[in-house]
Amino acid sequence: MASLIACGIDCDVHPAVPHLTSLLPFLNDYWRDQVTTRGMVDLVSQSYPQNSPITARPDWRPETGKPGESLEAMQRHVLDPFQLKHAICNPLYGVQMVFSEDMQAAFCRALNDWLAKEWLDRDARLRGSIVIPTQSIEKAVAEIERCAQDKRFVQVLMLVMGDTPLGKRALWPIYEAAERLELPVGIHAGSAYHNPPTAVGWGSYHIEDYVGQAQAFQAQLTSLIVEGVFARYPRLKMVMLESGVSWIASYLWRLHKFWRGVRMETPWVDRAPLEIVRSNIRFSLQPFDAPPEPETLIRLFEHMQSDELVLFSTDYPHWQFDAQDALPEGLSPDLVRKIMIDNPHATYPRLT
Amino acid sequence: MNIQFRENQEAASPLTVKTAIADCDIHPARATRTELYPYLAKRWQHHLEVYGVHAYQGMMEGPPYPKAQPNASRRDAYPPEGGPQGSSLAFMQKQLLDPNNVQLGVLNPLNTGQGIRNHELSAALCSAINDWQIDKWTSKDKRLKASIVVGNEDGLSAAAEIRERAGDKNFVQVLLLSRNVEPLGQRRYWPIYQAAEEADLPVGVHAFGFGGNPITPSGWPSYYIEEMVGHSQCQQSALASLVLEGVFERFPKLKMVMIEAGFGWASSLCWRLDKAWQRLRSEVPHVKRPPSEYIREQVWWTTQPMEDPERREDLFDVIKWIGWDRLLFATDYPHWDYDEPSRVLPAGVSEANREAFYLGNAKKLYGIN
């Protein structure tokens, strides 16, 4: 494996909300009452069943409780041994599955406040992502503006499978706010399950949902590019989190071919898709979904025609690699430095 | 390759392929709206006039996303005698089969009985289109071979149609579309695979179709280009479903052809499936081997629309990862994104790989001597 270097940025770690009741101190009386009198249960997404092998590495799995719910464990497992300067916390609590915009807004606000108090306040290396209530664009923008006052929040977080394709114009006020406040928008694997998790319907298995994340990212990139998000918000950065990376180049070859063929349909797309990706889109390293041979890895990075696209991540506590082997074999020391330090700093202006 | 945007194209480029080729994705069209009626019972003719086909989409006529040109087809492919592109055998011979020396042309009719909600009508239309393929095309030009079109949402009637046509040398494969009501590995479709395996016919899965699901897992996008690019994601999900439901394990002699969805994604999907399977195989104990092994042994890919990297050699890494023995050349005639045979492979490909790519793999798969 390529050697890690100190002072890296881990762009994707997942602190877990122990239970919905953990959010009660951050809810107002009305919502506290709703949660308790309606007997609401814990909001755990099917995307990551608690005991699924992919949800936690065996040696990162606690004896009790949810993987990722303990700060001390996160310090012991990643922050210390990887000698990280910062780690960006992306909570995957199931608030996106809620349909009511009022309830979702209350839960997102509570989740963000919980993250600041229980995590960011307790370890200066941690940074946060703002989880937003996408059932209401207005409320989502308000939540971004509220949290952005705390400079430890360094990005906005959305799921790759939501209610609508991410390029849709109705969502653009979110992107306007993010660009204005120097917040990249992180798009994380996972679904609100408001649509079937594949474009051909509901599969039978958890593994199918997980493999399908890559196709969801592909569809979202198409939407973001052809709707013209980056023509309108040229300084906006988007980070595909837990997306996989081996599909990027071949996907762009296809998009490029059709863009050349039918660009009259979306004339505002004034640059080739690959150029837009190079300037505005980044991808987290894990899960690194390529075979272990270094020669294949080298060709895949060659295909991307850029050493700026990939950002270091461990995806803690998800099980993507063993021991300290977060960096695949075959990366040059220069590329390791780009991935672990330079690229994340170039992406997240709020990291200092 | 978007040849319609190229002006002053040379009549005969020096690179023109003169050796014989197979074209594994040709779309024959009906010249008139009622051309299938002679093959349909009166009841269904009446039904179509009154109710239409009642597809898994909202439009009575035409696609949900307007194409970029009429019938998504080349503007130079209208037959001189009239009718839509692809509806005249004589003009297809003149424009496609003769100049490109097509030795084997596989017909994949679209807009048939697939993707419609009335399953009885679906079966009747599929049977009609199969008779029509023989009468209008394969009986009149021996280079052309038909696909058995089946009512995709009703596995039992589809299997019956396959058994009815099995052994008929006019047909070389069973045709499905990628977008169905459920992912293609689901059990409702297994009778199709069983019948195809028994008949020793590959199952082609052509991009497109309608199953009522949005073409992204985040709902309906805005543009035709999103649907076009999205077909490759649909195909990936359909193939993942086939592997993970154990279809290849259960039907080990089944061969499947991924048609018109690109192939650049194939190796990436295999790696991702293998990696996830290592972690999560206890959920799918019926998948006994790494997913990539089933795909390597039982799946073929047609080439068009070939992915288009800035550096052509990048694509050859991907072909090497998939295997030169698994690609089947296709033009997609008469559609607009037709790949021109003389231009898809640059110099530097070995003679053996070139021959396999253009002809050998297809003849072997489809059992043509």
> pLDDT tens for residues A151-208?
999 999 999 999 999 999 999 999 999 999 999 999 999 999 999 999 999 999 999 9
Interface of A with B in 293-352 (CB under 8 A): 296, 299, 302-303, 305, 319
Tokens in use for A272?
């080739």
Question: Which residues of chain A are within 8 Å of residue B273 when distances are taken between CB atoms?
Answer: 211
> Residue B218 and residue A53: Cβ atoms within 8 Å?
no
Interface of A with B in 100-119 (CB under 8 A): none
Helices (H), B206-331: 224-244, 247-250, 266-280, 291-298, 312-322
3-class secondary structure, B13:
coil
Place of tokens 């709206």: B33
Name the DSSP letter for residue A81. T
> Residue B222 and residue A247: Cβ atoms within 8 Å?
no
Region A280-298: mean pLDDT is 93
> Residue B229 and residue A54: Cβ atoms within 8 Å?
no
For residue B115, is pLDDT > 50?
yes
Burial class of residue B315 in the structure, from the number of CB atoms within 10 Å of its CB (0-12 exposed, 13-18 middle, 19+ buried): buried
Rounded mean pLDDT of chain B? 93
- Output b/e per residue, B32-48; b: 16+ Cβ within 10 A: eeeebeebbeeebeebb
Give the global pTM: 0.95
For residue B346, is pLDDT > 80?
no
Question: Which residues of chain A are within 8 Å of residue B185 when distances are taken between CB atoms?
Answer: 203-204
Rounded mean pLDDT of chain A? 97
Burial class of residue A190 in the structure, from the number of CB atoms within 10 Å of its CB (0-12 exposed, 13-18 middle, 19+ buried): buried
* Nearest-10 Cα torsion for A168, A171, A174, A179: 20
Q: Does A99 touch chain B if contact means CB atoms closer than 8 Å?
A: no
Chain A and chain B share a number of CB contacts under 8 A equal to 243
Report the pLDDT value the prediction gives residue B162, as an integer from 0 to 100. 98
Distance between first and last Cα of chain A: 28
Question: Which residues of chain A are within 8 Å of residue B280 when distances are taken between CB atoms?
Answer: 52-54, 205-207, 210
Assign B18 a pLDDT band (cuts: 50, 70, 90): low
**CA A311 to chain CA centroid, nearest Å:** 11
For residue B17, is pLDDT > 50?
no
Q: Does A257 touch chain B if contact means CB atoms closer than 8 Å?
A: yes
> Residue A211 and residue B180: Cβ atoms within 8 Å?
no
Assign B46 a pLDDT band (cuts: 50, 70, 90): very high
Q: Does A250 touch chain B if contact means CB atoms closer than 8 Å?
A: yes
**CA A63 to chain CA centroid, nearest Å:** 27
Place of tokens 């800035």: B310
Domains and CATH numbers, chain B: 19-366 (3.20.20.140)
> Residue B218 and residue A162: Cβ atoms within 8 Å?
yes
Interface of A with B in 36-55 (CB under 8 A): 52-54
Region B294-313: mean pLDDT is 94
For residue B12, is pLDDT > 60?
no
Name the DSSP letter for residue B145. E
Question: Which residues of chain A are within 8 Å of residue B264 when distances are taken between CB atoms?
Answer: 249-251, 253-254
Report the pLDDT value the prediction gives residue B113, as an integer from 0 to 100. 94
A156 strand-pairing partners: A130, A185
Question: Which residues of chain B are within 8 Å of residue A258 when distances are taken between CB atoms?
Answer: 225, 228-229, 305, 337
Interface of B with A in 320-359 (CB under 8 A): 321, 336-337
For A327, list phi and psi in degrees, rounded to 5: -100, 125
> Residue A219 and residue B309: Cβ atoms within 8 Å?
no
Whether B244 and A205 have beta carbons less than 8 Å apart is answered as yes
Q: Does A218 touch chain B if contact means CB atoms closer than 8 Å?
A: yes
Name the DSSP letter for residue A201. B
Sign of the dihedral through C-alpha A224, A229, A234, A237: negative
> pLDDT tens for residues B195-217?
999 999 999 999 999 999 999 99
For residue B10, is pLDDT > 50?
no
Q: Could you tell me what percent of chain A has a pLDDT over 70?
A: 100
Question: Which residues of chain B are within 8 Å of residue A226 when distances are taken between CB atoms?
Answer: 222-223, 225-226
Report ipTM for this prediction: 0.96
Q: Could you tell me what percent of chain B has a pLDDT over 90?
A: 87
Report the pLDDT value the prediction gives residue B348, as an integer from 0 to 100. 83
Of the candidate ranges A320-334, B219-233, B341-355, the one whose mean pLDDT is the lowest: B341-355
Domains and CATH numbers, chain A: 8-347 (3.20.20.140)
> pLDDT tens for residues B154-163?
999 999 999 9
For residue B15, is pLDDT > 90?
no
